[in-house]
Structure 1
Amino acid sequence: MKITIKSTLMAGVFALCASPVLAETPDRTRLPIPDVEPKGYTQLDVREVQRPEPYEELRPPEGAPNVLVVMLDDVGYSQSSLFGGLVDMPTLDSIANQGLVYNNFHTTAVCSATRTALLTGRNHHQNNMSSIAETATAFPGSTGMRPNYIAALPKILKYNGYKTAMFGKNHEIPPWQTGPAANQKLWPSQVGFEKFYGFFGGETDQYQPVLVDGVTRIKTPRTKDYHFTTDMTDQTISWLDLQYSYNPDTPFFAYYAPGATHAPHQAPKEWIDKYKGKFDMGWDQLREDVYNRQKQMGIIPQDTVLPSMPDGVPRWNSLTEDEKRIFARQMEVFAGFLAHTDHEIGRVIDSLKKTGQFDNTLIFYIVGDNGASAEGNRNGSFNSLSFYNGVEEDPQFILDNLAKLGSRDSFGHYAKGWAIAGDAPFAWMKGTASDFGGSGNGMAISWPSGIKKDKDTIRSQWTHVTDITPTILDAAHLPQPTEVDGVKQISMAGKSFTNSFNDPKAKSKHTTQYFELAGNRAIYSDGWFARVIHWPLWEDAKKFSTLQDDTWELFDVSKDFALANDVADEYPEKLKSMKELFDKEATKYHVYPLDDRTLERMNAEIAGRPDAMFGKKTLTLYSGATGIPENSFLNIKNKSFDLTARITTANAQETHGVIIAQGGNFAGWSLYVQDGTPTFEYNWLGYEYTPVTSSAKLKKGDNEIVVKFRYDENGEGGEGNNVGLGKGGNAYLYLNGEQVAQEFISNTISSLYSLDDGVGVGEDEGGAVSKEYQAPFVFNQDIESVTTTIVE
């Protein structure tokens, strides 16, 4: 059969299939850059037509560098060797020796807010991230939902021809959108990262992480000697090597954000033991020593005055010998964790040198997303989840488990005294946005192809985390886009500081910046700093002044680097104008109304944010439902509830595995079967394990297992600071309609099971809730359904 196609139709086919051609001078202010209409042909025979030039991918402007951003977590201003601390960080030192050290760099004082500001160039309230993602509310500035009129840096770079990837901690997604069936609008793959390997929560277990690869939640790695920082480094190097192999002339943007050194503090024992005995002098002496060393090194001005430590920190000489032993070991664990992380970053740097990409890679090594963390409270902790549930750990419990600190059997955090020492020469710590101890972080930058080597490597220009994105765009000769995906963009709040790369005396472009977090608030403007210390992170905000009665302080930062001398009484008119400026900025950036609630905001019902359950009182899950975050499951904390599991067994006596579990090693509950016997077990922070074990076994065929937990509303209340919450209750276990067990559970989780380890049907992901089995303890029979119901 002969088929004839008219030449005009053929021309149309060729026009549709021809490769698009980019404009010679593309308009990079409107992204994505549109393709130019391809040329059409009328010739019938391709052999009669001159071949067009092959399609060329859009490339960044000539000379655009590779970009590597390293963002550490919860590292204080002075904890690294580069900034006077005792933790050896040779990779950080080498970056600084090759390039520059910025000693006046600032963050937002908390992780989620800092990270979204870094990747957008906008203030954290503009990104609707007033605090951490898990405390989002319904108010503008705090919803957790970054608007479409703010496109993230990876999308801007991707649309300009960069290859993009992120590894490690994300923590920029509102909690109700992190689940496997969630809207993925703010997932890394949707905001511009072509590759993502890491986790979404505020922290993860370094030995048993709950991970996402792209858009898929993967099984928890369980190889011997596994550690997440090493794993994400391997992933980073593999991606970089692949890009170099296939796209050697295409610049990349890699964002390396380990969970270190956020709690849990976990590191290989050999790294921890390197610091044995090095912190026996205590936090008071360490702070003094670091302060003096910083002046000798020129990291801080010679006239810097060291403020007194806050009253809430016990003095080292007032501690018992057991307390000193506990606290010194906590700091050794932290130091080993930080040093190990720097070593892994060194492997990434070595890979760039091996492939010859180091010289043209603009590297930002940001030593912390906020100041050192005091979330360990006075005593530190063996299980840092105690902090989120308002529980102060007994030092004796830590002492009894001291040898386990830093291992997979611990989830620890150091005492708050180390946080204050770790932020020298400042007075406060993470969460205190109104003090440079909360917002001040060290930073080193390297770019051999773009930064001239000079003896004067310290840069003291006032810089802010919002400046990173505009600086990268400036270095890449890219404009800030005015439109992305058809949406008009708002201007960036940050300012490029590339002018300081080769000029140590360059003027600071970032001259005004507000700070606010949970009522702690401040304003910086041209060398002046006005602030309110509303409350310290380790205390209940209600114990301090109301927002209306707060006292403002004033500092001349040009003469007082560490904010040691309040001059409010000397310059009342200046203070008045600074307060008015704060009001102006706060109104402009959606900072008001202020919200100083803390743990209460972890509860979606109290915070008033959207919830994945949309008011549901019953949820039925089926086999294979895993990776469900806490905010995507019914909130059964501080309530009575029922669990109904329907299963089918082919061999009842050999049935084993987890039917459903929530949480992990250090808090949670699990309904599981061993040798045909069902058990419901409650794990209260790793301190109390309460098994409710059936007196009867499963039968062959269909079985119904029911757990009825009845919360003791009239009880005395749970342990800790969450008054009226975390009470106990009776747990009843039924098998095929018959009651087969009953136990009283003394304490329950009041606020949070885990920031990352969620709910799984048919297996226990992450860490094991019970000590009676090893995760994942996959169920070996059929699960028809598991229904959870809130009982009112």
Structure 2
Amino acid sequence: MKKILIYLITAASIHFVKAQEQRPNIILILADDLGYSDLGAYGSEIETPNLDRLAKEGLRLREFYNNSICAPTRASLLTGQYQHKAGVGYFSNDLGLPAYQGYLNKESLTIAEVLKESGYITLTSGKWHVSGNGQSYPWQRGFDYVYPRDDKNANSGAPGLKTAKTDAEGYPTQETFSTNLITRNAIGFLDSIKSKKDPFFLYLAHTAPHWPLVAPKEDIARFKGRYDKGWTAIREERLKKQKEIGVIPADLIPSTVDADQYAWDKLSFDQRALWAKKMEVFAAMVYRLDQSIGELLTHLEKNGQLDNTLIVFLSDNGAPAEDLVKWHHGASKNYGSVGTVGSYESQSKNWSYASNTPFKAFKDYTYEGGINSPFIAWFPKQIQQGGIKQGTGHIIDLAPTFYELAKATYPASFKDTKTNALAGKSLLPLLTSNDQHVDREEGLFWERAGNRAARIGKWKLVSTWPSYKWELYNLEADPTETKDVAAHNHQVVSQLSQAYFKWAKQNSVVDFAELEDKEPAMMKEFRKSKIQEIEAPAFRF
């Protein structure tokens, strides 16, 4: 009897140890062009109950940084490298230098490659945007299950997969809407592996709410009349809510309006109606994104796959300023009412001014409005519920975080290629302990088509192309970058600029003047499209 008891105790102990050593599933969800305040958990009036649930049961960060635009963000997110080091220093265009080739290089391993070697099943559904020259497609970079599995759609920088069916008025159906397709294909992958014991890594890269503004009619109807008050009133409401829930300090002073911002009360009745409809569609896209994530959560729970799963949600950049009426052949492509599949409309900087509340500037800029993303991490029993921390994390930190959590080793070489060392830090101390932010003596750095920034501690240095003039902000006292204090802090400017140029050299960043003549004409027009005309552009209602 004593031997039996010892055996049972030993068996139970072994089972307990194995349970403790069980490695978690990891789900990384990326939104496209979602502004800092576009979720309920970050101050929005848009209903996002599923993401709000993850925030309530998990952790939010006030500061979590991306690379200000889609392809460079995805390069860093997937590899844990600064984008130039990974080969995507400019965009998904080849500008003739290794750091600017426009697709992931072999020296920068993806999360999928590393986790697959460690026994994970790897899945991705949605936008890829970091391949080129027939190389670095997701199925070549460690992913077992891929949707869409074709060269053209896998690297599309456009908002996504073409809708196959519409209703009688030209609005997409729920069955074929790209947001739902991306999630449901991921769910199909999860169904196919639910009997397997190996942990999985799912990279769910949504195209919503990136332009063009298209959504199912019934989703748009939910927001009818919601935006008739205009962007200034919505921004004020979001600012108030952000302070109430603690996402921003109660005494924070928001950034000031751009000189070319349209005055809502000076628009005609018809113009206001048209602009309000645009935001109704945008809100519907965010709502549908949240609903699809709810569908994913329900299915994971049904399959028994939700327990022991880390879920991370963020956006690839701030809300955009580009105006499709003036860029990307928007005027000629726009042949349907706003919200229909024939529509080719963007949110533009008027509504993005509200989406990026309380910050300055937009996508592609290195001010906070371009690079500071909503960030939610959910992991029951490991992440304390309902927390809001300062954070100061960066997308280069996610790969080392996942590797530590998965007990995976990042190799010094892979397939006879010496790998680039990881640039970021594990966020586990931040996510699972009382740490409030990531300590990083070396700082953080950005460069995107001549727009530059460096951050060390509370200080942030910024310059916007074509200017080389440095601006300096104290983000502890002025998180919305309203007061340039460079003139009074020459030593700090010198320290941060030296750190920037050291980083630039280490990552093969070149002066953008050397690359400007190689910049595609379409991307040059992209810059001009962010500057608005005096009168509101006409578009289809």
After superposition, give the CA deviation of every residue in 1:651-685 in whole Å (9 maximum; x if it has no partner).
xxxxxxxxxxxxxxxxxxxxxxxxxxxxxxxxxxx
Gap change, CA 1:165 and 1:595, over 3 Å in 2: farther
The equivalent position to 2:375 in structure 1, one of 443, 455, 460, is 443
- Show the counterpart of 1:202: 157
- Show the counterpart of 1:370: 317
Cα distance in 2 between the residues matched to 1:333 and 1:599: 37
Q: 1:225: Cα distance to partner?
A: 4.9
Matches within 5 A, 1:105-254: 105-133=64-92, 135-174=93-132, 177=133, 183=134, 185-198=135-148, 199=153, 200-204=155-159, 206-208=161-163, 225-245=175-195, 247=196, 249-254=197-202
- Indicate if the aligned counterparts of 1:374 and 1:429 stay in contact, CA closer than 8 A: yes
- Indicate if the aligned counterparts of 1:68 and 1:254 stay in contact, CA closer than 8 A: yes
| 1:291 maps onto 2:235 in alignment | no
After superposition, give the CA deviation of every residue in 1:98-128 in whole Å (9 maximum; x if it has no partner).
1111121010000000011001000001112
Cα distance in 2 between the residues matched to 1:478 and 1:462: 24
Q: 1:598: Cα distance to partner?
A: 7.8
- Indicate if the aligned counterparts of 1:164 and 1:193 stay in contact, CA closer than 8 A: yes
Q: 1:326: Cα distance to partner?
A: 1.1
- Show the counterpart of 2:451: 520
Cα distance in 1 between the residues matched to 2:267 and 2:147: 43
Q: Which runs of 5+ in 1 are unaligned?
A: 1-58, 178-182, 210-221, 535-545, 608-717, 723-792
* One-letter amino acid matched to 1:472: F
Cα distance in 1 between the residues matched to 2:186 and 2:514: 38
Cα distance in 2 between the residues matched to 1:527 and 1:575: 13
Matches within 5 A, 1:113-512: 113-133=72-92, 135-174=93-132, 177=133, 183=134, 185-198=135-148, 199=153, 200-204=155-159, 206-208=161-163, 225-245=175-195, 247=196, 249-366=197-314, 368-376=315-323, 381=325, 387-389=327-329, 393=331, 404-432=337-365, 434-451=366-383, 453-454=384-385, 457-511=387-441, 512=443
- Indicate if the aligned counterparts of 2:390 and 2:437 stay in contact, CA closer than 8 A: no
Cα distance in 2 between the residues matched to 1:319 and 1:291: 24
| 1:575 maps onto 2:493 in alignment | yes
- Show the counterpart of 2:41: 82
- Indicate if the aligned counterparts of 1:458 and 1:504 stay in contact, CA closer than 8 A: no
* One-letter amino acid matched to 2:237: D
* One-letter amino acid matched to 2:339: G
Cα distance in 2 between the residues matched to 1:322 and 1:558: 43
Higher helix share: 2
Cα distance in 2 between the residues matched to 1:329 and 1:270: 14
- Show the counterpart of 1:593: 511
Cα distance in 2 between the residues matched to 1:224 and 1:329: 20
- Indicate if the aligned counterparts of 2:91 and 2:100 stay in contact, CA closer than 8 A: no
The equivalent position to 1:94 in structure 2, one of 53, 62, 75, is 53
* One-letter amino acid matched to 2:367: D
After superposition, give the CA deviation of every residue in 1:447-485 in whole Å (9 maximum; x if it has no partner).
11432x345x11212100111111111111223221211
Gap change, CA 1:121 and 1:293, over 3 Å in 2: same
Q: 1:561: Cα distance to partner?
A: 1.6
Gap change, CA 1:227 and 1:598, over 3 Å in 2: farther
Cα distance in 2 between the residues matched to 1:566 and 1:603: 33
Q: 1:557: Cα distance to partner?
A: 1.2
Please, what is the CA RMSD of the aligned residues?
Answer: 2.8
SS at match of 1:119: helix
SS at match of 1:529: strand
* One-letter amino acid matched to 2:500: F
SS at match of 2:407: coil
Gap change, CA 1:598 and 1:413, over 3 Å in 2: farther
| 1:62 maps onto 2:21 in alignment | yes
Q: Which runs of 5+ in 2 are unaligned?
A: 1-17, 165-171, 530-541
Q: 1:602: Cα distance to partner?
A: 3.0
* One-letter amino acid matched to 1:566: D
Cα distance in 2 between the residues matched to 1:111 and 1:595: 22
Q: 1:208: Cα distance to partner?
A: 3.1
Cα distance in 2 between the residues matched to 1:192 and 1:290: 41
| 1:553 maps onto 2:471 in alignment | yes
- Indicate if the aligned counterparts of 1:205 and 1:411 stay in contact, CA closer than 8 A: no
* One-letter amino acid matched to 1:340: R
After superposition, give the CA deviation of every residue in 1:584-630 in whole Å (9 maximum; x if it has no partner).
111111111225978973369x99xxxxxxxxxxxxxxxxxxxxxxx
Aligned length: 499
Q: 1:506: Cα distance to partner?
A: 4.3
Cα distance in 2 between the residues matched to 1:515 and 1:522: 5
Q: 1:156: Cα distance to partner?
A: 0.6
The equivalent position to 1:566 in structure 2, one of 484, 490, 515, is 484
Gap change, CA 1:598 and 1:73, over 3 Å in 2: farther
SS at match of 1:125: helix
Gap change, CA 1:204 and 1:458, over 3 Å in 2: closer
* One-letter amino acid matched to 1:272: I
Q: 1:388: Cα distance to partner?
A: 2.2
- Indicate if the aligned counterparts of 1:110 and 1:131 stay in contact, CA closer than 8 A: no
Cα distance in 1 between the residues matched to 2:245 and 2:140: 44
- Show the counterpart of 2:3: none
After superposition, give the CA deviation of every residue in 1:497-544 in whole Å (9 maximum; x if it has no partner).
10012324345134411111111111001121011133xxxxxxxxxx
- Indicate if the aligned counterparts of 2:57 and 2:385 stay in contact, CA closer than 8 A: no
Cα distance in 2 between the residues matched to 1:596 and 1:167: 36
State the TM-score, normalized to the length of structure 2: 0.86
* One-letter amino acid matched to 1:322: D
Q: 1:271: Cα distance to partner?
A: 0.5
After superposition, give the CA deviation of every residue in 1:45-93 in whole Å (9 maximum; x if it has no partner).
xxxxxxxxxxxxxx99932100111000000001111110121111111
State the TM-score, normalized to the length of structure 1: 0.60
Cα distance in 1 between the residues matched to 2:79 and 2:156: 20
- Show the counterpart of 1:533: 464
Gap change, CA 1:375 and 1:163, over 3 Å in 2: same
Farther off after superposition, 235-244 or 314-323: 314-323
Larger Rg: 1
Higher strand share: 1
Cα distance in 2 between the residues matched to 1:494 and 1:207: 36
Cα distance in 2 between the residues matched to 1:297 and 1:188: 39
Matches within 5 A, 1:40-51: none
- Indicate if the aligned counterparts of 1:266 and 1:407 stay in contact, CA closer than 8 A: yes
